[in-house]
Amino acid sequence: MAPRAEPTAVVGWGSLNPLGLDADSTWDAVMAGRSGIELLEAPWTDDLPVRLAGCVPSGALDSLSPLLRRRSDRCAQLALVAARQAWAMAASVTTGIDPNRVAVVVGTGIGGLATMHEQHTHLSAGGPNRVNPLTVPMLIPDAAAGQVAIDLGVLGGAHTPVSACASGAEALMLAQMLLNDDRVDLVLAGGSEAPVNRLGLVGFSAMRALSSRNDAPDQASRPYGLDRDGFVLSEGAGMLALMRRQDTPSGADLGWLLASGSSSDAHHIVAPEPQGLQASRAIDDALRRADVSPSDLCGVQAHATGTSLGDLAEARALRRSLGSAADHLPVCAPKGQLGHLLGGAGAVETILALQALRHGVMPRSHNADPLDPEVELAVTNKGHMPLATGQSQRLLLKNAFGFGGHNISLVLAGSTPAQPG
């Protein structure tokens, strides 16, 4: 029997993604039905088979010094800005905190891909003398966590889970473990990714993982849609500040991470186990550790990326784990608007899930109409849906799965609900 996890409070968050430069503008864009997917018009895309992606709006990195921007990859830069937002939002609890009792956990699926591509191009074109001496510290996956720790001066550990598209969610799981073990008192945790470059687009399109709807970018990302043809590559970062329940001042919480579950498919390096058997185990694990039954939930935020195999595997896992509750629980697939942020997805989407709990509404799942008839779930493909609750708090399940068979599920709870609006 899995031990019950100690609930962890979220006391700050920060987000940069194709829909906005902070968490509030992102939520507003989601509710307004905007798409973050665009056609890439830069000359370097002219010969690419896929020329669409989700890019963070311009100006996102203006707060970073020119020196820092020269010495770090975009993946680390996005994480830095999101971490600063979360840290500032949590100022009421971070002021005066012992830096030895603060940790950083930043997940990423790839790390400094832009640096790798750029420096390989320099090496090929100009030889060894053209390579930046900071190439390795810029491209290593743990650069983002290290840069955040340096920037904020926190000393309690800097950690980097690398589990493909589950990395951001796994960072939150690790943060809760650090807090439950009393290793630290506060953790800045989340994920970041900056894969929108020639190497990223060509690599994923060569394996036929990406949608090729260059003529209709806003309709290209179609999670659970009958005519889906792959995901849309996006960039961004999300960071959350978390504390133990007993250390959280009254009214400081924005929401709660109740528990997490994990498993591995041990099936294929790319394709999920098709019946969702191990994904279902991660869901069950999270529910057990949260001491929550499917009937206690008010909704699900799905990983659903828009791939034919992945979406069906998750749908089958949810149906297996949730049973009859899956008939009516609203299921939101946010990648229809965001695209797929890879290692940043789990954190950016968790912030959206907590906002949904606060506002009492599950956003519409875009481009999921017509719904694949094999997806036997109550997907919100017709519009926003109110979140019902018979509990003192609204509870929501959030999934994140990654290449390599990494499965992470989170059980989230809302703070005192805001009025829907």
Same domain, residue pair 312 and 201: no
Same domain, residue pair 221 and 125: yes
The residue from 117, 159, 303, 359 that is catalytic is 303
Domain end: 247, 282, 306, which one?
247
Residue 1 in domain: no
CATH code for the domain of 271 = 3.40.47.10
Same domain, residue pair 300 and 235: no
Q: What is the mean pLDDT of residues 63-90?
A: 98
Output the 3-class SS for 2-44.
CCCCCCEEEEEEEEEECCECCHHHHHHHHHHCCCCEEECCCHH
Query: By residue range, what is the domain housing residue 318?
Result: 264-414
340 is catalytic: yes
pLDDT of residue 279: 98
pLDDT of residue 390: 63
Residue 310 in domain: yes
165 is catalytic: yes
- The token duo for 363 is 């956003």
Same domain, residue pair 150 and 213: yes
The residue from 165, 332, 359, 406 that is catalytic is 165
Same domain, residue pair 279 and 200: no
Q: In the chain, how many domains are there?
A: 2
Q: What is the mean pLDDT of residues 143-170?
A: 98
The residue from 117, 159, 340, 359 that is catalytic is 340
Same domain, residue pair 269 and 326: yes
Closest CA relative to residue 220, chosen from 384, 387, 39, 89: 39
Same domain, residue pair 294 and 232: no
Confirm if 411 and 172 have CB atoms less than 8 A apart: no
d(C-alpha 304, C-alpha 55), whole Å: 19
Closest CA relative to residue 51, chosen from 298, 170, 220: 220
Residue 257 in domain: no
- What is the pLDDT confidence band of residue 419, given thresholds at 50, 70 and 90? very low
d(C-alpha 51, C-alpha 74), whole Å: 20
- What is the pLDDT confidence band of residue 420, given thresholds at 50, 70 and 90? very low
pLDDT of residue 4: 81
Domain end: 218, 247, 276, which one?
247
**Residue 379 backbone phi and psi in degrees, to 5:** -70, 140
Tens digit of pLDDT for each residue in 294-315? 999 999 999 999 999 999 999 9
Q: Is the peptide bond before 363 cis (omega within 30 degrees of 0)?
A: no
Tens digit of pLDDT for each residue in 189-246? 999 999 999 999 999 999 999 999 999 999 999 999 999 999 999 999 999 999 999 9
Residue 259 in domain: no
d(C-alpha 121, C-alpha 253), whole Å: 47
Residue 203 in domain: yes
Domain end: 193, 215, 247, which one?
247
Same domain, residue pair 281 and 150: no
Mean pLDDT over each residue of the chain, to the nearest integer: 96
Question: pTM higher than 0.85, yes or no?
Answer: yes
Tens digit of pLDDT for each residue in 173-197? 999 999 999 999 999 999 999 999 9
- The token duo for 397 is 């399940």
Same domain, residue pair 214 and 157: yes
Tens digit of pLDDT for each residue in 50-59? 999 999 999 9
pLDDT of residue 3: 76
Residue 418 has pLDDT above 50, yes or no: no
Residue 419 in domain: no
Residue 309 in domain: yes
Same domain, residue pair 338 and 268: yes
Residue 253 in domain: no
Residue 417 has pLDDT above 50, yes or no: no
d(C-alpha 61, C-alpha 349), whole Å: 21
Tens digit of pLDDT for each residue in 347-394? 999 999 999 999 999 999 999 999 999 999 999 999 999 998 766 689
d(C-alpha 205, C-alpha 107), whole Å: 23
Closest CA relative to residue 144, chosen from 303, 347, 401, 403: 347
303 is catalytic: yes
Same domain, residue pair 239 and 269: no
pLDDT of residue 281: 98
Same domain, residue pair 215 and 312: no
